[in-house]
Structure 1
């Protein structure tokens, strides 16, 4: 069985990978970034339309009938990494374009994805507006968000070692009257491991790394980056409290005259106070480290900060960690699962090899198959596209859960019976197929 789907804000095709693996056929995609659209066409054989605003304005003409509408609508207005302007920013209103298309075509299922912060306290009015809009369009949706991450999904279900919490919104078309009334609906996903899986079993080395990339110069750390790692590793060997601080370590406050900035936000004052206390408690060792490494003060401000999140074990060595060179500092984690990829220059660094993950390795973190082709574009664009992508395995699992819980109502809608049959009969693992398969 097969079903037709529409893929809005399609990026390079994370939703397409999941839906086509279930037997779905993409009948329309929309992506405003021409580079992402080119990669989408290259891999899936479907050339995306451009601006979704124009698509929605001509929905009756441009948008074919379909059983499922998917969309990873722009997340920057809701992300903690942005200004969190929500619906007040034009990109935050893109969900309205989705609602326009739903009003015209009324597909059996709507499947949306966004950052975790969409349903956070600061954006709760935005979340409520999105949910209300979907109900007014006739879709039964839960009031509470379904938050999930692919690292909670075992490999046999299509999971991957990336801690990428996202909100999944899945709705079933039941008509406006029922959608308004049937609001006591449980989310189909819970933010906990699936089938007894232990996320600590993931391994970047075994589950992500490509063979034969060791020592590849283009991905290797540069001399200044190696020096940052060396100096902070010297700190870890010199200053040895029983437990390393869980708060960000800011070396700029490690001197005798440091004081709390009373004009700073309260959260920052808390970290300043903790760092001043930490310095006083370990002053002799820290001063010895600073005298040995005066070049620290010439590092970029963000590289004078360390965020140790690699646990309390005996091994305190950045070269054995997964590193992130973030605006907030150098973050170190155990090399089990990676933090969420972002659409910025923060590619994870695998410490044991002293190099960044390759675009292919970031694609593996997002559940994309190894045949996925980035074309001849620069790596920077591939990294950005993976940072913006939908995780294929998580999307696949979420839809299977939704269809299992709502199959009777889905089957009643136009094209819904085919959708239910295809998803129900699809395998447990998303066997993503090339466009010519």
Structure 2
């Protein structure tokens, strides 16, 4: 049954969360936790942040990248008393030999953001044997020997696509053979589908979560009609257009060496010139730029297009050229005047003579979130940001005339404002964040799985997970008081949480 939270739930929830936090702090001081977990391919600790919030204690960590491992230890391991620190391993393959015992301690939950690798297709091999030689096989070896109550895996969405259908089938079959009840349907979720009060962050980051409960091989192979843990889409009562990228940003005056994140004069000129076109289109035509990619080098009259040349082009490219030619025909007077008044445009790099406007009715390019991509400049409304991928495409906040900092990028993943990268290079920090697990999305799927499988899980694990505060990201997202009141009053579907 769907239960809707009343408007006055927010205050009561905060009181309950505070009492729960106090109880957790008391438990943490003694070192005792209701459940334990291992964190494989751990990165900088997205799963750790979520599982610690849920009340667990980490007993084993594996991360091969030295800089990521140092960031992980700085934030999650070094602050702990020596007797509470997990075992740190650099290479999971060493701890999971082909023959011999697995050198990983007992645990209740196994979490892993494992890389996707092609599996064998040699016909006679099935299940775990097909995974041999891949890092998923090392995960399977641990599950085989330690049989934790829950397995939680995260991967890119492409894992469920047609190119990796074989790998997906092998993973699901292997987990079932090892005794884990899992769904054949992937659970895909993104942190921007959650409101801030439930751990959401303004980042579109669709990821596949595979969650399994240990029920023994016989039941796992029989109970295959399992629905996905979560359904892709916003939780009931939340509109993703209510996001505001400003909620994860620092005041510029509080950012050390903020000038290194500011746009260069050349980058500023690119935006100024394109924004001039945005303003002319609005003032003279009353319209914003169209949503298809604009390529100034393709602005010729439609009659100048050669039908024979269009026929041999890929359909998408031919369509692109026709749309640009029609745009030119419809607005030739504006475009000619704009080019005449901005002679520097002709000298822009080719990729900067292209613009993709996805900002709908946003009034100015300087009010959007932008990315400088090899395929051109992309602009979108300043609500939520695209997935973090690499430093070359770090989001530019137009209103701030700068890129987001590594710490702001970390908040998009759900890490709090006290998260530290130490003195490492920004490039390493951006990379680590881009490879990370979104804390809020992981928490949402894990909590839902525990609730749905509560009758087959240890009571202590169920009790502590379902009793944990709803928001696992703390101060990563700071919402203004007036907006917070609106969000608190929103009708959020409790069953979707």
Alpha-carbon displacement from aligned partner over 1:3-27 (angstroms, at most 9, x marks no partner): 1111111100000000011121111
- 1:225 equivalent to 2:225? Answer no
CA 1:228 to 1:140, structure 2 compared with 1: closer, same or farther past 3 Å? same
Identify the structure with the greater helix proportion.
Answer: 2
Match of 2:433 in 1: 386
1:27–1:64: 8 Å Cα contact kept in structure 2?
Answer: yes
Give distance in 2, aligned partners of 1:195 and 1:380. Answer: 37
- 1:247 equivalent to 2:247? Answer no
When structure 1 is superposed on structure 2, of 17-26 and 50-59 the one drifting more is 50-59
Give distance in 1, aligned partners of 2:355 and 2:472. Answer: 38
Unaligned 5+ segments in structure 1 are 78-89, 412-416
Give distance in 2, aligned partners of 1:258 and 1:47. Answer: 65
Give distance in 2, aligned partners of 1:344 and 1:264. Answer: 33
Match of 2:412 in 1: 365
Match of 1:235 in 2: 277
CA drift at 1:264? 4.3
Match of 2:26 in 1: none
- 1:71 equivalent to 2:112? Answer yes
Match of 1:81 in 2: none
SS of equivalent residue, structure 2 residue 168: helix
CA 1:121 to 1:213, structure 2 compared with 1: closer, same or farther past 3 Å? farther
Match of 1:167 in 2: 208
Match of 2:372 in 1: 325
Alpha-carbon displacement from aligned partner over 1:124-146 (angstroms, at most 9, x marks no partner): 33322322222222211111111
Alpha-carbon displacement from aligned partner over 1:278-335 (angstroms, at most 9, x marks no partner): 2233233223323333433433332221111111x2x431111111112222111111
Match of 2:23 in 1: none
Q: Return the match for 2:349 from 289, 300, 305.
A: 300
2:278–2:288: 8 Å Cα contact kept in structure 1?
Answer: no
Match of 2:189 in 1: 148
Give distance in 1, aligned partners of 2:276 and 2:474. Answer: 45
Give distance in 1, aligned partners of 2:115 and 2:312. Answer: 34
CA drift at 1:57? 2.2
Give distance in 1, aligned partners of 2:351 and 2:111. Answer: 38
Give distance in 2, aligned partners of 1:299 and 1:140. Answer: 56
Give distance in 2, aligned partners of 1:105 and 1:258. Answer: 66
Match of 1:82 in 2: none
CA 1:246 to 1:149, structure 2 compared with 1: closer, same or farther past 3 Å? same
Give distance in 2, aligned partners of 1:114 and 1:294. Answer: 47
Match of 1:37 in 2: 69
Match of 2:81 in 1: none
- 1:290 equivalent to 2:339? Answer yes
Match of 2:247 in 1: 206
* TM, length-normalised to structure 1: 0.87
CA 1:122 to 1:278, structure 2 compared with 1: closer, same or farther past 3 Å? farther
Alpha-carbon displacement from aligned partner over 1:128-178 (angstroms, at most 9, x marks no partner): 232222222221111111111111111111111112111111111122222
Give distance in 2, aligned partners of 1:345 and 1:123. Answer: 27
1:6–1:69: 8 Å Cα contact kept in structure 2?
Answer: yes
- 1:55 equivalent to 2:95? Answer yes
RMSD: 2.6
Alpha-carbon displacement from aligned partner over 1:84-113 (angstroms, at most 9, x marks no partner): xxxxxx999432322222122211111011
Q: Return the match for 2:55 from 10, 20, 23.
A: 23
1:310–1:321: 8 Å Cα contact kept in structure 2?
Answer: yes
Alpha-carbon displacement from aligned partner over 1:156-205 (angstroms, at most 9, x marks no partner): 11111112111111111122222222121111212222241222222122
Give distance in 2, aligned partners of 1:60 and 1:343. Answer: 39
Alpha-carbon displacement from aligned partner over 1:338-393 (angstroms, at most 9, x marks no partner): 11111342111110110111111111111101111111101111111111111112
- 1:401 equivalent to 2:433? Answer no
2:248–2:408: 8 Å Cα contact kept in structure 1?
Answer: no
Q: Return the match for 1:339 from 386, 394, 415.
A: 386
CA 1:284 to 1:56, structure 2 compared with 1: closer, same or farther past 3 Å? farther
SS of equivalent residue, structure 2 residue 356: strand
Unaligned 5+ segments in structure 2 are 1-32, 78-85, 119-130, 476-497
Correspondence 1:101-116 to 2 at 5 A:
101-116=142-157
SS of equivalent residue, structure 1 residue 10: coil
2:102–2:145: 8 Å Cα contact kept in structure 1?
Answer: no
CA drift at 1:222? 0.7
